[in-house]
Amino acid sequence: MEEREAKERLLEAVLGHVPFDGWSETSFAAAIADSGVAPGLARALFPRGGLDLALAWHRAGDAEMARRLAAEDLSGLRFRDRVARAVLLRLELADREAVRRGTALFALPQNAGVGAGALWGTADAIWTALGDRSDDLNWYSERASLAAVHGATVLYWLGDDSPGHAATRDFLDRRIEGVMRFEKLKAGLAENPLGRMLAAGPLKFLGRIRPPARPEGFPGRNS
């Protein structure tokens, strides 16, 4: 069995157990039994068991979101509405109970860094899918802002029982509006004396920061 097929089988199998046992070793063992993947191969593919399965499932959702966005015509939308569309599409692709269990897993102190990395990865996938080509400090600030917006929206969505999750869309719009106000503030800062002073000092240094290099073939910023 090829590694790709084994991964797909395990991810498909584990989702039936996550609502009951979370992203745990119990779910991992059940997925191995249900998928027919050899235990040794499963452990080699997912050394940390349920945690690595949760990350793989999350990344698969990011990839599918990017694929679907690429097939949509977003040219008639304002940029803020394109961002909202991407975030809402990412939620549409997710299983709410699996996300709920994943949120609990990543909230554990030992997994907090991994969870933050997954959230950052989603923000990066969205910006990349929307055509972002920034290569300076904006690369980081854009992703940090969107990661915060997306994370807050996910938590709201988990408790939203409104028809069609309309309340989540309203919540997201308010969060994006807050980010847009911040971007306007940054633009205005460049027009006043204090802003120009900062641009010649601390911000000049920060402006030299470049995003991390991506391995060849990595589905990231400029792919």
Query: Lowest-confidence range among 74-78, 132-136, 150-154, 196-200?
Result: 196-200
- Looking at residue 135, its pLDDT comes to 75
Q: Tell me, what DSSP letter sits at residue 163?
A: G
Q: What percent of the chain has pLDDT over 70?
A: 81
Q: Band of the pLDDT at 181, cuts 50, 70, 90?
A: low
Task: Measure the CA–CA gap between 168 and 145, rounded to whole angstroms.
Answer: 18
Question: Contact 126/65 with Cβ under 8 angstroms?
Answer: yes
To which residue do tokens 């120009």 refer? 196
Query: Which amino acid is it at 73?
Result: D
Higher pLDDT, 212 or 202: 212
In residues, how long is the chain? 223
**What value, to the nearest 5°, has the Cα angle with vertex 116 and ends 222 and 53?**
90
- Of 61, 53, 62, 45, which is closest to residue 111 (Cα–Cα)? 53
Higher pLDDT, 214 or 30: 30
Q: Tell me, what DSSP letter sits at residue 159?
A: T
The answer, yes or no, to whether residue 215 has pLDDT greater than 80, is no
- Looking at residue 219, its pLDDT comes to 42
Q: What is the pLDDT of residues 21-47, one digit of tens each?
A: 999 999 999 999 999 999 999 999 999
Residue ranges in 93-208 assigned as alpha helix (H):
96-106, 112-129, 137-158, 166-189, 193-200, 202-206
- Looking at residue 138, its pLDDT comes to 78
How far CA 30 is from CA of 37, 61, 69, 220, in Å, comes to: 11, 22, 33, 33
Q: How many other C-beta atoms can be found within 10 angstroms of the C-beta atom of residue 39?
A: 11
Please tell me whether the overall predicted TM-score, pTM, comes out greater than 0.85 for this model. no
The answer, yes or no, to whether residue 149 has pLDDT greater than 70, is yes
Q: How many other C-beta atoms can be found within 10 angstroms of the C-beta atom of residue 182?
A: 12
Q: Band of the pLDDT at 191, cuts 50, 70, 90?
A: low
Torsion, CA 134, CA 137, CA 138, CA 142, rounded to 10 = 120
The answer, yes or no, to whether residue 202 has pLDDT greater than 50, is no
- Looking at residue 184, its pLDDT comes to 57
Give the residue-averaged pLDDT of 38-63. 97
Question: Contact 158/103 with Cβ under 8 angstroms?
Answer: yes
Q: What is the pLDDT of residues 92-135, one digit of tens each?
A: 999 999 999 999 999 999 999 999 999 999 999 999 999 988 77
Q: Band of the pLDDT at 148, cuts 50, 70, 90?
A: very high
Listing DSSP states for 89-123 in one string gives HHHHTS-HHHHHHHHHHHTSGGGHHHHHHHHHHHH
